[in-house]
Amino acid sequence: MRRYFIEVCYDGADFGGFQIQSNQVSIQGALEQAMATLYRVPISLTGASRTDAGVHALQNFLHFDTDLVISQKHIYNLNAILPNAIVVKGIYAVPAQAHCRFDAVKRSYTYKIHSQKDPFLEGRSWYYPFPLDVSALNEAAALLLKHTHFESFSKKNTTVNTFDCQITKAQWVQAGSCLTFDIDSNRFLRGMIRGLVGTMLHVGRGQATLSEFQEIMDSNNEQNVDFSTPAHGLYLSSIQYPDYFQKII
């Protein structure tokens, strides 16, 4: 039996999240259904990052084990079966012990905001028509690099062994009327990025000081955090693996 990673991208707007749920259409569920249709046997998938309902992904991975012969043409076949909102980008043979979730060494996310109403950004970016101090936003983002414990930014209906995250990049970038927040870390907590974005925007609008933002981080209390940031502005942009990951089918 061989192990394979499957690389996907998707528009999360019409899905109840990544992970299979009994009462919602999910990314993982749609993929398993498409693979069962193609291969005529059930195939169980394990996901690398469980994006929330409405969150998009430019790159995400799942892995599966099979004795079936996997070929390049199956990428085309799967994409023909899948809904248009999900695309298989590749299927890669990996060592048997490789794990798409636990072996990931870095995950990167982007949050997109636009300040001028634009029909072509609807559902792809958050329309936020308020003046923002980008320098203040980046000062707040710089504090994240000095912090490792992010319990304040974790929604409580989750089970994790640690709230520690090693953030290696946190940056706001302005391009015309569009503003993006890019963040890299070894791991993220449930709701963490949307909580960070929502809370930092208070700093950018002058509604909170950097000292107050630091106090929120130190409080370990999620009730101090603004989690109201909509899902449709958030993208899982990439996942990085160790050198064992070889694009071989």
Tokens coding 203: 């700093």
Confidence of residue 213 (pLDDT cuts 50, 70, 90): very high
52 is an active site residue: yes
What pLDDT, on the 0 to 100 scale, is given for residue 245? 64
What pLDDT, on the 0 to 100 scale, is given for residue 249? 40
- Whether residues 74 and 114 share a domain: the answer is no
- Whether residues 50 and 35 share a domain: the answer is yes
Residue with tokens 């590749």: 90
CA 73 from centre of chain = 28
Model confidence pLDDT, tens digit, residues 102-159: 999 999 999 999 999 999 999 999 999 999 999 999 999 999 999 999 999 998 777 7
What pLDDT, on the 0 to 100 scale, is given for residue 21? 82
What's the domain count of the chain? 2
Residue 224 clears pLDDT 70, i.e. is over it: yes
User: Which is catalytic among the residues 52, 118, 182, 218?
Assistant: 52
Helices 134-144 and 192-204, interaxial angle, to 10°? 140
What pLDDT, on the 0 to 100 scale, is given for residue 248? 44
Residue 125 maps to which CATH number?
Answer: 3.30.70.660
Let me know: does 36 contact 116? Beta carbons within 8 Å: no
- Whether residues 194 and 167 share a domain: the answer is yes
Tell me how far apart the alpha carbons of residues 200 and 134 are, in angstroms, rounded to a whole number: 10
Model confidence pLDDT, tens digit, residues 144-191: 999 999 999 998 777 788 999 999 999 999 999 999 999 999 999 999
One-letter amino acid identity for 230?
P
Residue 223 clears pLDDT 90, i.e. is over it: yes
Q: Are strands 86-94 and 56-66 parallel, antiparallel or unpaired?
A: unpaired
What pLDDT, on the 0 to 100 scale, is given for residue 247? 53
Give DSSP secondary structure letters for 170-227.
EEEEEETTEEEEEEEES---TTHHHHHHHHHHHHHTTSS-HHHHHHHHHHT-GGGS--
Model confidence pLDDT, tens digit, residues 34-84: 999 999 999 999 999 989 999 999 999 999 999 999 988 999 999 999 999
Q: Which alpha helices (H) appear in 27-166, and where do they start and end?
A: 27-39, 73-81, 134-144
- Whether residues 33 and 130 share a domain: the answer is no
Tell me how far apart the alpha carbons of residues 149 and 7 are, in angstroms, rounded to a whole number: 30
Q: What is the mean pLDDT of residues 195-210?
A: 97
Residue 59 lies in domain: 2-102
Q: Which of 30-34, 128-132, 245-249 has the lowest mean pLDDT?
A: 245-249
Look at residue 110 and tell me if it is in a domain: yes
Task: Provide the whole-model pTM.
Answer: 0.93
- Whether residues 182 and 215 share a domain: the answer is yes
Let me know: does 231 contact 54? Beta carbons within 8 Å: yes
Q: What is the mean pLDDT of residues 198-223?
A: 96
- Whether residues 96 and 121 share a domain: the answer is no
Confidence of residue 243 (pLDDT cuts 50, 70, 90): confident
- Three-state SS at 231: helix
Residue 12 maps to which CATH number?
Answer: 3.30.70.580
What pLDDT, on the 0 to 100 scale, is given for residue 244? 65
